[in-house]
Amino acid sequence: MPKKLFIKTYGCQMNVYDSARMAELLTPLGYAETQEAAEADLVLLNTCHIREKAAEKVYSELGRLRQAKEEAAAAGRAMTITVAGCVAQAEGEEMLRRAPVVDLVIGPQAYHRLPELIARVERERSGGLADTEFPVESKFDLLPQERGPQDVSAFLSVQEGCDKFCSFCVVPYTRGAEASRPVAQVLDEARRLVAAGAQEITLLGQNVNAYHGAAPSDDGSSWGLGRLLFALAELPGITRLRYTTSHPQDVDEELLAAHRDLRVLMPFLHLPVQSGSDRVLAAMNRKHTAADYLRIVEQLHAARPDLALSSDFIVGFPGESDADFQATLDLVEAVGFAQAYSFKYSPRPGTPASALASQVPGPVASERLARLQELLNRQQRTFNAETVGQVLPVLFDRAGRRPGQLVGRSPWMQSVHALLPDSARGQIIPVRVTAAGDNSLAGEALDAVGAWVAQPQPLEASAS
C-alpha cells in the first residue's frame, strides 16, 4: 500500500511549485498524495512568512494536527509532521521546542534532502530533527528531473532568493541569496514540460528578472531573463510565456526587447512598486523612485503597447504621511493598473523596518488601505469592462462550475468563462467577451474561422 502524503501550501506560486516538487521527491519513498490530513502518514505544511501572523497560523494548524497524530497513534499508525517553507526557515529549532508534534523542520534551501531526512525520521522516530542549515549545493541540482503529467499551464522555477533587502521583507533572510539555474537546465525542463502537455510556461523566482543563469556555452558568461525568454520562445510547442515576480530595477534593455519582439511573451506584467512616495521608497530600500517606475512603465508600453500592469502595494509603512500616501494614489492614477495586491504594512521580526520608531497607527493604515483598494478595484473593473465586445484568445485549462463550461485565461490573466466541450481544454480559442465582472469575464467562443461554437454565458456569480 502506498503511504499517504498530505500537503498544505500557504503563500505564493513559488510555494505551490515547491510543494509539487517535494511531492515528486517523496514518490520514490512510496508516498502518494491524499486530500485528507487525518489519514496521512506524512503531513507537510509548506509555509509562507511574508505577511503577518504567518507563524501563529502554522502553530494553530499544528495544534489541530496534534489531535490527528494522537488519533493515528491510537490506531497504531505513525504520522510524521514536517514543516517546510519560510516559517520553518525563520523559526528553525524553536519550532521543535514550541510544537513537539513536529518531527522535521526544513528550510527552502534544503528541500532536495527531504527524502533522506524523512527516511531518517521514520527510522529514528524519537525526538525531533531540525534541518535549517544552508547546504552548499544548490537545491536546483538535486530536484527530480522527471515530471508527471502536467497541466496546460505550467510553472518553471528559474531563480530563487533575493539580494534586494527591501527593509520590510523577510525573503532575503528566509529564501537566502539570489541564485539562478543554468540556462541549459531551464531549457531542458521547458522541453520536458512541453512534452508532458504544457503550452504556457510561467517562469518563477522571488526576483525573477534578476535572473543571470550560466550560459549554455559554459564559458563563464551568463544570460539575463530577456535572453532566456528569447531562447524559450524558440522551443516548438510553447504558445505563451510569462514570468513573475519582478523588481523595477532589474528591467533591462534585453527584457524590454523581449516584450517588443516576442508575441508569445504575454502582455501582462506583475511589477511591484510598493509605494508612490520617494521618501517611503527610500526608507523601504527599494532602489527606485516613483519617476523611475513611471519611466519603466513608459518603456514597457513603448515596447508593447497592449501591455497591462499588476503591482503590489504596502500602505502604512513606518513614517508614511498623508502626503506620502497621496503620492501612492497619484502613481496609481498615473499608471492605471489592470490588477493589484495591496497590504497593510506588518512588521516582520528581524527586518530593518520592524525596528523603526514611527509605526503608523492601525486605524490610519486601514483607512488608507480601503481608499487604495477602492481606486485599484475601480481600475480593475474599468480594465475588464473595456474588453467587452472584443475577441480575445483564451487558453482554456479547466472546467467551470457549471456543466458544459470551461474556464481559461486571457493574455492579461483574466479568467474567461465560456460554454465549450471538454475537448477544447488545452486549446487557445477566440472568445468574444459579452460581460465583465470585477474578477472575471464571460464570453462566447468562436472557432478559428469565426463561426459560433457556443452560446453566450451569464457571468458566474461566485467567480473569483
The answer to whether 314 contacts ligand 5AD (rule: CB under 6 A) is yes
CB-nearer residue toward ligand SF4: 6 or 293: 293
Annotate each residue in 335-374 with x if it binds ligand 5AD (CB under 6 A) or - if it does not, as one string: --------x-xx-x--------------------------
Cβ 406 to ligand 5AD shortest distance, Å: 30
68 binds, among ligand 5AD, ligand SF4, none (CB under 5 to 8 A by kind): none
- DSSP assignments along 71-120, one per residue: HHHHTT---EEEEEHHHHHHHTHHHHHH-TT--EEE-GGGGGGHHHHHHH
For ligand 5AD, the binding residues in 32-51 under the rule CB under 6 A are: 50-51
∠ CA 145-150-154, nearest 5°, is: 85
Smallest Cα–Cα separation from 417: which of 376, 454, 460, 384? Answer: 460
- Residue 132, all three cell numbers: 535549517
Strands (E), 316-438: 339-344, 391-399, 405-409, 415-419, 428-436
Please choose which of ligand SF4, ligand 5AD, none residue 247 contacts, taking the beta carbon within 5 to 8 angstroms, the exact cut-off set by kind: ligand SF4
The neighbour count for residue 262, using CB atoms within 10 Å, is 17
Tell whether residue 162 is a contact of ligand SF4 (CB under 6 A): yes
Nearest distance from residue 179's CB to ligand 5AD, in Å?
19
Beta carbons within 10 angstroms of residue 362's beta carbon: 10
> Binding to ligand SF4 (CB under 6 A): which residues in 228-247?
247
Given 166, 190, 225, 315, the residue binding ligand SF4 (CB under 6 A) = 166
Q: What is the dihedral of CA 202, 442, 427, 450, to 10 degrees?
A: -130
- Cross-strand partners of 415: 409, 440
The set of cell numbers assigned to 79 is 504520522
Closest CB to ligand 5AD among residues 56, 116: 56
C-alpha cell at 9: 501550501
Residue for cell digits 531542458?
Answer: 188
Q: Does residue 206 bind ligand SF4 (CB under 6 A)?
A: yes
Q: Name which of 223 and 313 has its Cβ closer to ligand 5AD.
A: 313
Choose among ligand 5AD, ligand SF4, none what residue 164 binds, the Cβ cut-off being 5 to 8 Å by kind.
Answer: ligand SF4
Interstrand relation of 222-224 and 391-399 (parallel, antiparallel or unpaired): unpaired
By CB under 6 A, the residues from 257 to 296 that bind ligand 5AD are 272, 274
- With binding defined as CB under 6 A, does residue 180 bind ligand SF4? no
Q: Are 351 and 378 in contact (CB under 8 A)?
A: no
- Residue 348 interaction partner, one of ligand SF4, ligand 5AD, none, beta carbon < 5-8 Å per kind: ligand 5AD
Partner from ligand SF4, ligand 5AD, none contacting 314, C-beta within 5 to 8 A by type: ligand 5AD
Q: Which lies closer to ligand SF4 via its Cβ, residue 134 or residue 165?
A: 165
For ligand 5AD, the closer CB: 292 or 312: 312
**Three-state DSSP state, 365:** helix
Judged by CB under 6 A, the number of residues near ligand 5AD is 12
Site string for ligand 5AD, 48-77 (x = CB under 6 A): --xx--------------------------
Give the integer Cα–Cα distance in Å for 412 and 403.
25
Q: Are 196 and 212 in contact (CB under 8 A)?
A: no
Q: Where are the beta strands (DSSP E) in 181-291?
A: 200-204, 212-214, 222-224, 240-244, 268-270
Q: Kindly state the DSSP code that residue 446 receives in the 8-state scheme.
A: B
Phi, psi (rounded to 5 degrees) for 128: -105, 180
- Name every residue whose Cβ is closer than 8 Å to that of residue 255 and which is 6 or more positions away in sequence: 209, 224, 225, 226, 229
Beta strand pairing call for 405-409 and 415-419: antiparallel
Q: Which amino acid is at 29?
A: L
- What is the per-residue binding string for ligand 5AD in 168-187, x denoting contact by CB under 6 A? xx------------------
Of 26 and 55, nearer to ligand 5AD (C-beta) is: 55
Select from 21-29, 127-135, 163-171, 430-438 the region that touches ligand SF4 (CB under 6 A).
Answer: 163-171
Tell me if 250 contacts ligand 5AD by CB under 6 A: no
Strand order in the sheet with 200-204: 153-157, 200-204, 240-244
CB nearer to ligand SF4: pick between 161 and 226: 161
Q: Is 207 in the site for ligand SF4 (CB under 6 A)?
A: yes
Q: Can residue 408 be called a binding residue for ligand SF4 (CB under 6 A)? A: no
**Residue 318 CB neighbours (<10 A):** 19
10 scored as a contact of ligand 5AD (CB under 6 A): no
* Residues lying near ligand 5AD in the complex (CB under 6 A): 50-51, 168-169, 272, 274, 312, 314, 343, 345-346, 348
* Residues lying near ligand SF4 in the complex (CB under 6 A): 162, 164-166, 169, 171-172, 206-207, 247
